[in-house]
A and B are shown apart, each in its own frame.
Chain A
């Protein structure tokens, strides 16, 4: 294998695939990045067996020449060193050449690195996915959906299925749900399908995969293809493939958890509640429980308070735009509410309570594509 490549394009690609490489893998070859050169261009692959990323740098795209291929072939190089090295090479171009025994030379400007490579034949092949279940959506919408749900996944391995985001799709509506059993984040969107009707259920993508995917997603309206199989999901970009394993197990039914009535309903400004919670959490963070108390007052005001036995207490009044229904005193994990408020883009929110001991919802007022559900904290 022997080729010369534009440094910037190469570095960009290497950094993408490096996101999938983990130093803690049990399969030694996966600590490397696979480089394959053909007359069409250069393909890079990185994987930790949960996530796999493949990028392609074409020889040229009509406007610009990226790669000059002198000899086809492939090699696997240790990601830890290779990714750092290419970033620090000085020249505009990098020359990559493999000699006998996988010995590889990287040359750029007057710098030469000789690296010991690994046998590319040992590198596992990426899955070939059946493209039956296939839909498309703009990158920026997918990015939003991920950002607005993935924070709510569970971090505890005792219920593995909750560490992922669940995808359900019917007709042209896609629903993403994440919950750690104390809070739930749900986001809907309409998407385009190739086959007409989309049918997804119990497609649970690990939260960790989505966090990595989010780094690859760009804030553009360019479409991304999403292909779902029994055990894998593939996000297909122009020159990048992102594979993730799906989580086993039945995702809990969440539809019937969302209350359809309200005893107390508030509308208030998102930012005001957010900064009030930030202040109140200064004290409850000390007590390590993040418990915030909320009480409805007369004249459409609520009182937000927090107590720490060692430090002291804080109370604050917020006036609501509207307040309807019964009086209420409730306690909840303020950190969870803050996490949700940070991903709500609407200026005002609606909170619907169903009693001090039962779940409540927080939603933006300007659309119904998003819903956050919380269970309260009982205090003695």
Chain B
């Protein structure tokens, strides 16, 4: 384990640079990729380094970016194109090792056979150059002995380093990583940061030196995981199947405006249920656990809940998913205006066999779903919809034109 060599390869300003590839005239211009300005997703998704030099940041609203740089070029996203390039990069990296794990659309883990550190840095430079020359993307590479080291090496050091690569391992972690504020530890979010600060833990090093039993007492296995992350322990392999073997099928959407009423929320829950149901049929899967997540906001406070329920029998029926999800929602919703909703189906099993129930015969529903699926495959996602989706609260018509919330 000592000698593992893991790269995290991160594509710099991925969307923006890909747009520049597609529009060569913009190469030297400030370019940002942003969602639709008319609805809430009108924020900067990616900014090229030129745009960033004007102070434009990812996730700020378009108008703010325009204030900083009036001549910025705003482009709509082309998600399908980005996904395709991302897949190309993964298969390009397979030349070096079979252990390639896409971590997100613009980040890939690569595990290589053991080698000296100097050799690894040379190889990282070589991969970086080839990616730029052959695919046209700027990459930064974090090199570590574990996945968490590689990820943090990339996030905290490679981005600032002149070479675009950085090495993190047990030998230099105490010097480089430990002085960083705790919020920059991988897997520590806002809430966890607050908890840790309240405990007096302000740096990664303080957490690494904190007694393990105390963390275990507070958070159980998660506490131990956190401590291991601070110390760079991570035995998880770089496995190509991480993204292929699904554990759940879920859909999530950010609403164009806050929804206040059950009558509106219900419409979106039904649409999400139908999408989850359709995708589980595409995977010939049935699921037995339905989860619902909702994020609300009131007076500037974020309020969210996430609840799940185990079903009596596995299902992929949109009706059952909807009924379960809406019962959960109604039970736990405190009336806060809702800004995003998600539904997922987990505890998946193959649907090649389905034990029919003595109580309700859903045979008719199955052939109905089959027909709807065929219509959608042929004429698009908006070919057949629940009538409620045509009401102002409905999102299905707009979503039919998008991937991951952005235009195809």
The answer to whether A and B come from one shared complex is yes
- Which A residues fall within an 8 A CB radius of B? 156, 158-159, 179, 181-184, 252, 257, 289, 291, 331, 333, 357-359, 373, 375-380
- Contact B358–A380 (Cβ < 8 Å): no
Cα-based distance from A257 to B359 in the complex (angstroms): 8
Q: What are the residues of chain A within 8 A of B351 when measuring CB–CB?
A: 380
- Which B residues fall within an 8 A CB radius of A? 284, 310-313, 351-359, 361, 363
Minimal Cβ-Cβ distance residue in B for A258: B358
Minimal Cβ-Cβ distance residue in A for B309: A158
Minimal Cβ-Cβ distance residue in B for A284: B353
Contact A181/B352 with A257-B358, A359-B358, A375-B358 known, Cβ cut-off 8 Å: no
- Contact B359–A252 (Cβ < 8 Å): yes
Contact A375/B310 with A357-B363, A380-B284 known, Cβ cut-off 8 Å: no
Report the minimum CB–CB distance from A336 to chain B (whole Å). Answer: 9
Minimal Cβ-Cβ distance residue in A for B313: A181
- Contact B356–A376 (Cβ < 8 Å): yes
Report the minimum CB–CB distance from A337 to chain B (whole Å). Answer: 13
Give me 24 A-to-B residue pairs in the complex whose CB atoms sit less than 8 angstroms apart, sorted by A's number: A156-B312, A158-B311, A181-B312, A182-B355, A182-B356, A183-B358, A184-B358, A252-B359, A257-B358, A257-B359, A333-B355, A357-B356, A358-B361, A375-B355, A375-B358, A376-B356, A377-B353, A377-B354, A377-B355, A378-B354, A380-B284, A380-B351, A380-B352, A380-B353
- Contact B359–A181 (Cβ < 8 Å): yes
Q: What are the residues of chain A within 8 A of B355 when measuring CB–CB?
A: 182, 333, 375, 377
- Contact B311–A377 (Cβ < 8 Å): no
Q: What are the residues of chain A within 8 A of B353 when measuring CB–CB?
A: 289, 291, 331, 377-380
What 17 new A-B contacts, CB under 8 Å, besides A252-B359, A378-B354?
Answer: A158-B310, A158-B311, A181-B313, A181-B359, A182-B356, A182-B358, A183-B358, A257-B358, A257-B359, A331-B353, A333-B355, A359-B358, A373-B358, A377-B354, A378-B363, A380-B351, A380-B352
Minimal Cβ-Cβ distance residue in A for B356: A375
Minimal Cβ-Cβ distance residue in A for B312: A158
Contact residue among B311, B356, B358, B359 (Cβ-Cβ distance under 8 Å from A378) = B356
Q: What are the residues of chain B within 8 A of A184 when measuring CB–CB?
A: 358
Q: Which 3 A-B pairs have the closest CB atoms?
A: A375-B356, A158-B312, A375-B358
Report the minimum CB–CB distance from A244 to chain B (whole Å). Answer: 24
- Contact B312–A159 (Cβ < 8 Å): yes
Minimal Cβ-Cβ distance residue in B for A157: B310
Report the minimum CB–CB distance from A376 to chain B (whole Å). Answer: 6
Report the minimum CB–CB distance from B394 to chain A (whole Å). Answer: 32
Cα-based distance from A171 to B125 in the complex (angstroms): 89
Interface centre among A182, A257, A376, by most B CB within 10 Å? Answer: A182
Contact A379/B312 with A182-B358, A257-B358 known, Cβ cut-off 8 Å: no
- Contact A179–B358 (Cβ < 8 Å): yes
Minimal Cβ-Cβ distance residue in A for B284: A380
Minimal Cβ-Cβ distance residue in B for A359: B358
Q: What are the residues of chain A within 8 A of B313 when measuring CB–CB?
A: 181
Q: What are the residues of chain B within 8 A of A358 when measuring CB–CB?
A: 361
Contact A181/B361 with A380-B284, A380-B352 known, Cβ cut-off 8 Å: no
Q: What are the residues of chain B within 8 A of A376 when measuring CB–CB?
A: 356
- Contact A182–B357 (Cβ < 8 Å): yes
Interface centre among A181, A331, A377, by most B CB within 10 Å? Answer: A181
Report the minimum CB–CB distance from A258 to chain B (whole Å). Answer: 10
Q: What are the residues of chain A within 8 A of B361 when measuring CB–CB?
A: 357-358
Cα-based distance from A159 to B312 in the complex (angstroms): 7
Q: What are the residues of chain A within 8 A of B354 when measuring CB–CB?
A: 377-378
Cα-based distance from A161 to B310 in the complex (angstroms): 16
Report the minimum CB–CB distance from A25 to chain B (whole Å). Answer: 25
Report the minimum CB–CB distance from A362 to chain B (whole Å). Answer: 14
Cα-based distance from A171 to B356 in the complex (angstroms): 35
Cα-based distance from A117 to B304 in the complex (angstroms): 51
Q: What are the residues of chain B within 8 A of A375 when measuring CB–CB?
A: 355-358
Report the minimum CB–CB distance from A377 to chain B (whole Å). Answer: 5
Q: What are the residues of chain B within 8 A of A252 when measuring CB–CB?
A: 359
